[in-house]
Amino acid sequence: MSSTLKTAAPTPISRPPARPQPFPGLPEGVLLWQEYLSRAEQEAMVEDVRAAITQAPLFRGTMPKTGKPLGLQMSNLGDLGWFADRSGYRYVPTHPKTGAPWPAILPSLMALWQTLGDYPAPPEACLVNYYGPENKLSLHQDMDELDVHAPILSVSLGDQALYRLGGLARKDKTQSFRLNSGDVLVLTGPARMRFHGVDRIYPGTSTLLKQPGRINLTLRRVNLPPD
Ligand code: SIN
Ligand code: FE2
């Protein structure tokens, strides 16, 4: 009996695109999703951040010890915002100049936290850092939060940055890599308290913003979640 085996045309399977995987080879707890956000998502985010900072204008904090202005301009979204003045680094519920509560954290950022943050409680603060082409951020730890188990999730928008990642002690060896527009970086678990900073911005490497520079948004959980 001869039968002709007909090969059926493969049935197209519709499945959602595979979730991007974090970049391999980074230390445990350092999760980098390169260009996680599409151009359209980045544009929408910039527009929403611009709208928020017309309500909560960028400002420069001052260093607690010296009273010298910080290099970066910043603002915040959320119930709490990070702030620095003579009395120290801390989270405050209102804008230091306008006295108004910070605008709400964007729904698109809340969704990112849900997808990539892997943490049961929502973020309470989103620090908006604005880097001009000359700005940098010296090596530091994020240590003003009571909840040090929650991840820090950061989104890069605009020109490339040279990011420096250190260890848990200031003197530890560091490694550097570039962050691109649309990248999402999470420091979590054993990496939550790693030193980090931004050594330089590469002006002209992105067309997302109207002028050279970079916006970095970091989502933070500040207080311990209620039981
Ligand atoms: C920060 O550490 O607050 C910002 C890091 C970044 O700009 O990528
Ligand atoms: Fe930081």
- For residue range 78-91, what is the model confidence (pLDDT) as tens digits? 999 999 998 889 99
Distances (CA, A) of 204 to 50, 74, 183, 207: 20, 21, 17, 7
Confidence at residue 65, expressed as pLDDT on a 0 to 100 scale: 86
CA atoms of 60 and 71, how far apart (whole Å): 7
Q: What is the pTM of this model?
A: 0.90
| Ligand 1 proximity of 198 Cβ (cutoff 6 Å) | yes
Q: For residue 107, count CB atoms less than 10 angstroms from its CB and return exposed for 0-12, middle for 13-18, buried for 19 or more.
A: exposed
Task: List pLDDT tens digits, range 123-147.
Answer: 999 999 999 999 999 999 999 999 8
For the 30-220 domain, the top CATH level (class) is: mainly beta
CA atoms of 112 and 63, how far apart (whole Å): 31
CA atoms of 64 and 75, how far apart (whole Å): 18
* Secondary-structure percent of the chain, ordered helix, strand, coil, rounded to 5: 15, 30, 55
Q: Which of 82, 137, 179, 192 to mutate to test the pocket of ligand 1 (most atoms within 8 A of CB)?
A: 137
CA atoms of 202 and 133, how far apart (whole Å): 7
Residue with the bigger pLDDT between 123 and 8: it is: 123
Confidence at residue 96, expressed as pLDDT on a 0 to 100 scale: 95
Confidence at residue 67, expressed as pLDDT on a 0 to 100 scale: 87
Give the CA diameter of the chain. 93
Q: What integer is the mean pLDDT of 5-30? A: 74
Cβ atoms of residues 153 and 218 within 8 Å: yes
SS3 22: coil
Instruction: Using pLDDT thresholds of 50, 70 and 90, give the confidence band for residue 12.
Output: low
Q: What integer is the mean pLDDT of 13-36? A: 84
Q: Whose CA is nearest to atom 7 of ligand 1?
A: 216
Instruction: Using pLDDT thresholds of 50, 70 and 90, give the confidence band for residue 20.
Output: confident
Instruction: Using pLDDT thresholds of 50, 70 and 90, give the confidence band for residue 21.
Output: confident
Q: What integer is the mean pLDDT of 210-219? A: 97
| Ligand 1 proximity of 75 Cβ (cutoff 6 Å) | no
